[in-house]
Amino acid sequence: MPITKTDYIWMDGELVNWDDANVHVLTHSLHYGCGVFEGIRAYATDQGAGVFRLTDHVNRLFDSAKIFMMEIPFSRAQLVDAVKQTVKANNLTECYIRPLVYLGYGEMGLLTLNSEVKVSIAVWPWGAYLGEEGLEKGVRVKISSWQRHDPNAMPPAAKGTGMYINSSMAKAEALKCGYDEAVLLSPQGYVSECTGENIFVFRNDRLVTPPVSAGALQGITQASVMAIARDLGVEVEWANLLRSDLYLADEAFLCGTAAEVVPIGSVDDRQVGDGTPGPVTRKIQETYKAAVRGHVDRYRPWVEHV
């Protein structure tokens, strides 16, 4: 999806013009993929731009960095402020926010520990990641021939830049085969997640989502959906799922910051339910849409105004 240019990007403590936000070709992270990042969204609320669960995203960024032994040279509070400052400077009320922590220019070789840790934050307007039609009617997904990471090869709890080669290959395969999105299985054969979204199955009156031990990122949208579902009186739990659980689901959906809550219409050409978004999916989708914009009182603490 093309990027819409905005005015400023935050780099290592200051706002620079969009066109000047450049790095050297020998930037360490370009070569070995050691970086961590976040994907966050701001929405228009009745008090201006509100960043959804900003502190939770910044905390996950620090967790990812800890796993890779990258020392972020800013505090959590400084990065929370920096995100708000970047949204404000660009005069945006609805946007996607991309903080990136990477290893800069100066060292080469596989030891990362001596490299300078750099931080950037870019923001730009970004529409529905899987398309408006997907949000409305549901998407067609396919089990990927690529597996999710083995936890002892790549740590699923980290949102690491290089780890996404796996997602990109699965995404390309699914699209080339005529599907909208891929579902990846863990090396043990359990359902893990999609290329950039967590997955939920509703069956026998219970909502189930795979745990981190199945290779899934612990999603912030996933956590929001679990809270919303419980508040709606839906039983929800973490559990391993087999691909046949997807085929036999009454309802299924995927969720992530970029994609939001997207119904799944079919898996490997087997219709989910009657192939249209089910009532539980719809209710959760509607509630999420209202919550991110600060329209639901009980979820207002999730919205952090800039």
Of 99 and 196, the one with the shorter C-beta distance to ligand PMP is 196
Number of residues that bind ligand PMP (CB under 6 A): 14
Nearest to 264 by CA among 241, 256, 272, 280: 272
- Strand-pairing partners, residue 37, are 100
User: How far apart are CB 167 and ligand PMP at their closest, in Å?
Assistant: 6
Interaction of residue 220 with ligand PMP, rule CB under 6 A? yes
Q: Which of 84, 118, 142, 159 is catalytic?
A: 159
Minimal distance in Å, beta carbon 222 to ligand PMP? Answer: 6
The reply to whether 229 sits near ligand PMP by the rule CB under 6 A is: no
CB of 129 to ligand PMP, least distance (A): 9
6 near ligand PMP, rule: CB under 6 A:
no
Comparison of 86 and 198: residue with beta carbon closer to ligand PMP? 198
Helix axes 220-231 and 279-292, enclosed angle (nearest 10): 110
Q: What minimum distance in Å lies between the beta carbon of 24 and ligand PMP?
A: 27
Residue 220 or 284 with smaller CB distance to ligand PMP: 220
CB 47 within 8 A of CB 41: no
| φ, ψ for residue 274, nearest 5 deg | -95, 10
Q: Does 39 help bind ligand PMP (rule: CB under 6 A)?
A: yes
In the chain, the amino acid numbered 277 is: P
Which residues, 179 to 218, sit near ligand PMP by CB under 6 A? Answer: 193, 196-198, 217
Q: What's the burial of 213, exposed, middle or buried (CB within 10 Å: 0-12/13-18/19+)?
A: middle
Q: Which residues make beta-bridge pairs with 45?
A: 48
- Other C-beta atoms within 10 Å of 202: how many? 24
Query: Which of 257, 266, 281, 287 contacts ligand PMP by CB under 6 A?
Result: 257
Cα–Cα separations (whole angstroms), residue 208 to 61, 190, 223, 268? 26, 13, 12, 19
289 is catalytic: no
* 97 is a site residue for ligand PMP (CB under 6 A): no
In terms of Cα–Cα distance, which of 140, 125, 60, 54 is closest to 94?
Answer: 125
Residues that are catalytic: 159
Name the residues that contact ligand PMP, by CB under 6 A.
39, 159, 167, 193, 196-198, 217, 219-222, 256-257
